């Protein structure tokens, strides 16, 4: 079951909620070009009420915020994986290789990670060190851009009650953020 909230495209005001099979999600907007929807992790009926026997109004947008923030985090991680290899061990290896490469280029000090990789790949240590530093420098720029976009989106999502603004903040064009080919 997929849960959703609807909002008016014009001003982002809550316009209803419900649930359906995921395959039927788009059918919720048939003949309603004035509305948009956001998926939710939990049943919105738990956090909406119909005061005065009429209009449904949102009591809390926290589940929408949680869903959109989680989506931003997942997409940011997927974008990171275009540039780096997943895993804590790989992260530690990359950091160590970068330290050794910078030390080698600065003063010729050869570390075990750099020496082992150069021997295994048949590269010169100097070429390998230069490649490792270039990749680390590129990652610093790309990683910072991803993190900046991720945190800006999450801040916007956390600080507005407007569903349209939340939805737009979560719709990050990651290729424009990184602006590089992996």
Q: Tens digits of per-residue pLDDT, 51-90?
A: 554 445 555 788 888 889 999 999 999 999 999 989 999 9
Instruction: Please say whether the beta carbons of 5 and 17 come within 8 A.
Output: yes
**Per-residue pLDDT tens over the stretch 3-48:** 888 899 999 988 888 888 888 888 888 889 999 999 887 776 665 5
d(CA 27, CA 126): 59
pTM: 0.81
Q: CA angle 169-174-175, nearest 5°?
A: 140
Q: Could you say which of 13, 38, 60 is where a domain stops? A: 60
Nearest to residue 114, comparing CAs of 95, 101, 127?
101
d(CA 80, CA 147): 9
What range does the domain containing 5 cover?
Answer: 1-60
The SS3 of residue 12 is: coil
Q: Could you say which of 60, 76, 91 is where a domain stops? A: 60
Verify that 93 and 142 share a domain, yes or no.
Answer: yes
């Amino acid at each position: 079951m997929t849960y959703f909230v609807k909002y008016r495209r014009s001003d982002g005001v809550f316009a209803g909620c419900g649930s359906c099979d995921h395959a039927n999600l788009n059918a919720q907007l048939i003949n309603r070009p004035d509305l948009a929807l956001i998926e939710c992790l939990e049943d919105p009926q738990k956090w909406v009420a119909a005061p005065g026997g009429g209009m449904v109004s949102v009591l809390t947008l926290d589940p929408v915020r949680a869903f959109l923030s989680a989506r931003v985090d997942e997409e940011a991680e997927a974008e990171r994986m275009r540039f780096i290899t997943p895993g804590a061990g790989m992260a530690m290896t990359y950091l160590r290789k970068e330290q050794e490469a910078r030390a080698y280029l600065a003063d010729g000090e050869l570390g075990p990670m750099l020496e082992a990789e150069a021997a295994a790949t048949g590269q010169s240590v100097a070429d390998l060190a230069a490649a490792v530093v270039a990749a680390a420098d590129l990652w610093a720029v790309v990683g910072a851009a991803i993190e900046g976009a991720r945190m800006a989106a999450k801040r916007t999502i956390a600080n507005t009650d407007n569903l349209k603004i939340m939805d737009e903040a979560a719709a990050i064009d990651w290729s424009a953020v990184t602006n590089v080919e992996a």
